[in-house]
Structure 1
């Protein structure tokens, strides 16, 4: 486990940890405890019970976990090591404890608040392992390896995060590390763990008076282990010391824990003084981080090279000789990588990741700036340099990008409005944004998103993820019910529920039209994510443009659009172009049809297309010529690009319905008119957000190609 944690990361270990799995059995079986809540309206709702963020357990869980770890080590030496019955009772008791906590509390409360091995995991897995990926660098991933998750009936994997702890090591281990590094319990964790780990193995020497007792494995086969509890617990200088083993064991471990803590604090102060003497800034967080890293490096090597050597010797030759070299090499690489980390580096990478995400949305020409590389391949510094040199990255777009990055960072709890000016200083310098611009943007955000500045709201990545996951699960459930029973849930109501003007009452009206089975499923989803009425309103208010496009896709029955086509559909397209019903397509008719799709297509191009299909030479296209030409054309043929059948033909018809002026582009007013025909409560702000998402070219309108990309992406997710 220790090797996996330091080399591969905690997320891999959490996926294979037996106790983590056992603690999640109640959730999988639907056995979690629920708390009854009664709203002012008198309506009763049941929510998952979570640890109170302001309660004793939330504030002191580390001391509880470290205390249980201490008791566990003492129990091993005193009762468990060579007594099978005691070992069985110990393991069964631990399993029952994990199951009980899994029943009493939602999420991964056992792992986060009770598990005695959690301190060990933090020491070896934070800030990050040697090989594991990072959560803050790159697009926000909805599901990490070790997060709580659930699977829909369709087999789609969704997050089941209930925000039981924030920041959460399962979502972003490094953020959890930096957020807590200045807290007093972190010193006890690292320095105390080194002391107790060393003390555990040293006690075997103090008990027997030599190392043979431990290295030979005699401690695992000691006769009458329980009978020795009151016998001398130390054997020093060939003389037994009249302190009972029952007292000697906890005394030794406590003394070494205190000694490790004192030594760690001394080392930390000496290192800080060294920095000051050499005129280096003595950043307390960085100093403590580096001393913590040295502690992890030391105890990892101590365990494998010395304490675990008796087990390593059991490996086949030549592994016993090679294994210590491997351990020293991997731990040295880990130390080198970890030594360079700092809160500022983490923050810079996190903001660069958000900037990278916004640059993708703008649809700028990045080819020249990237020189053949992908935007995701750039380092944090390179992302900032790219933002500086992009010719199309105007000041207006810079401010827009900065605003979105700031909004997302506040919503995730990454920064708060008061300290955002300091935290975003480097980004402002890189983007050429003044402090006055920052204050103006904060005012705009306060007007557009007042909930970001509400001190009673929980702003954290964990809570945002919880609401996002609930909204996605709820939308999936409603859409499934609508497809199964279209007469019970009208699309207008669905769109209204996911609009900014929606309220909790609106969604309740929709749910009342669902079948009892579907309503039961919705109640289960609410309980799974511990959703209150206020949470539900917040979740619906934060609907992303992509989800709104998703709803439109379902309105036009997108699944049916991706069919096989065929002669009948090709003939329908022919008749659509042949507007005078003559049975022939003229140059004028072909030009009118193509211009509705692409207004930039020239008359000369249309003439060339007609000539290619017109094998009879009469300057018009019969259906037979149309059919033969279409079937013989290569996929990249100019005419075939505009003749769409099957899925594309149906989608093109919808595009043309929205494009009422026939310009070949959907404007914001056209999109708004179409959507308000579905739901009059839809706001202009939402329509604008949808248009921006689809408009990758940045010309404030949606071409057919852009329209097609949006719906093909939705269809691929459905498949």
Structure 2
């Protein structure tokens, strides 16, 4: 009897949620998206509150706890996979430069959109609706022309860097319900092997692949601090706003590389530390701001309890992320004699068997 892998692929996981339930949830997600778009046009106060006050504050915690649930039900992913499901996709392979640097495109989009919230999207429902429609269209067209999830979800989605950073050690691993069969569209795919995909990127011999992940992790806490300490208004000058964000992110990235050099820790450890810093900063700023916006204000003790819970969850996540590094290195990086008929799926993922 073969030993059970500590890092099973989605093909080795038991499906706890039937496919029909995911399909129903996707329909609900598309209907909710349509309702949100209508609200942003006709009742922007409600639409903006629903998006910025409910959905966006909830997503980081979902990415942290059960990122696979979002990847299975995300409306963008639903539209992206519709051409494949209905069999009218052209299933092309991305150009080599986009396969290698698509993650940087996603990072750049994220770094452009977040400051634009202060300038426009936080207070203009029509502008936000247009942005969401453009994003939905891009995801759909990516599915029309490109195979698998490489046309959007696993390459260029602006939320992908956040999902990958927060979702590297999920508390609840949800089996991929989209890719039947897997077509190997991207390297080190999260949907294929959620427990080690991010670490495989950090240990990848390609300096761009590991470097882009470290760049985002290093800059993210600075981006969050800049966002929540800066006033938002459509009258803000564009260039100084982006320069202020860039300065905060450069300081954050600089501290990342200084710590990496001074303490000589692995990229996994310093990246996980900055992921925890980003998550805790996000909720330490957000919880007091959201208090009372959706109902009666919570007493201070409740706010402190929520923040303490986030800190405790982040601490547990950090320990779990650190602990899995050694077995990953031993099984996926350290050379071992091959056994005929018993391929190591973790090594397969880390070596990039799932290339575009």
Specify the TM-score bucket, using the shorter chain as the normaliser.
0.7 to 0.9
In structure 1, distance between residues paired with 2:345 and 2:277: 38
Q: Which of 63, 74, 77 in structure 2 is aligned with 1:17?
A: 74
Matches within 5 A, 1:389-538: 402-405=339-342, 408-409=343-344, 413=348, 460=353, 462=354
8 Å contact 2:269–2:322 — kept in the other structure? yes
In structure 2, distance between residues paired with 1:17 and 1:79: 24
In structure 2, distance between residues paired with 1:75 and 1:305: 22
8 Å contact 1:58–1:113 — kept in the other structure? yes
8 Å contact 1:147–1:161 — kept in the other structure? no
Aligned to 2:62: 4
How far has the Cα of 1:69 moved from its partner?
0.7
Aligned to 2:89: 32
Q: Which of 328, 351, 376 in structure 1 is aligned with 2:311?
A: 328
In structure 2, distance between residues paired with 1:320 and 1:411: 41
How far has the Cα of 1:93 moved from its partner?
1.1
Aligned to 2:185: 164
Aligned to 2:172: 132
In structure 1, distance between residues paired with 2:249 and 2:287: 20
8 Å contact 2:103–2:155 — kept in the other structure? yes
Structure 1 residues 78 and 102: alpha-carbon distance in aligned structure 2, compared to 1, 3 A threshold: same
How far has the Cα of 1:348 moved from its partner?
4.3
Q: Which of 168, 176, 183 in structure 2 is aligned with 1:146?
A: 176
More strand by share: 1
Q: Which of 46, 65, 74 in structure 1 is aligned with 2:106?
A: 65
How far has the Cα of 1:179 moved from its partner?
2.2
Aligned to 2:226: 199
Structure 1 residues 303 and 313: alpha-carbon distance in aligned structure 2, compared to 1, 3 A threshold: farther
Per-residue CA deviations over 1:664-713 (Å, capped at 9, x if unaligned) read xxxxxxxxxxxxxxxxxxxxxxxxxxxxxxxxxxxxxxxxxxxxxxxxxx
8 Å contact 1:7–1:330 — kept in the other structure? no
How far has the Cα of 1:412 moved from its partner?
6.4
How far has the Cα of 1:201 moved from its partner?
1.9
Q: Which has the higher contact order (CA 8 A, sep 6+)?
A: 2
Runs of 5+ unmatched residues, structure 1: 34-47, 134-143, 150-158, 205-218, 234-244, 273-285, 352-398, 417-458, 464-529, 531-719
Q: Which of 31, 49, 52 in structure 1 is aligned with 2:92?
A: 49
Aligned to 1:636: none
How far has the Cα of 1:72 moved from its partner?
1.1
In structure 2, distance between residues paired with 1:413 and 1:4: 28
Structure showing greater radius of gyration is 1
How far has the Cα of 1:66 moved from its partner?
0.7
8 Å contact 1:271–1:287 — kept in the other structure? no
SS in structure 1 at match of 2:348:
coil
Would you say 1:123 and 2:165 are equivalent positions? yes
Q: Which of 127, 132, 139 in structure 2 is aligned with 1:91?
A: 132
In structure 1, distance between residues paired with 2:148 and 2:350: 25
Aligned to 2:18: none
**TM-score w.r.t. length of structure 1:** 0.37
Aligned to 1:293: 272
How far has the Cα of 1:415 moved from its partner?
7.8
In structure 2, distance between residues paired with 1:112 and 1:76: 24
Would you say 1:259 and 2:251 are equivalent positions? yes
8 Å contact 1:147–1:171 — kept in the other structure? no
SS in structure 2 at match of 1:174:
coil
8 Å contact 2:332–2:346 — kept in the other structure? no
Would you say 1:188 and 2:123 are equivalent positions? no
Q: Which of 346, 351, 356 in structure 1 is aligned with 2:328?
A: 346
8 Å contact 2:99–2:155 — kept in the other structure? yes
8 Å contact 1:312–1:323 — kept in the other structure? no
SS in structure 1 at match of 2:83:
helix
**TM-score w.r.t. length of structure 2:** 0.72
In structure 2, distance between residues paired with 1:59 and 1:172: 19
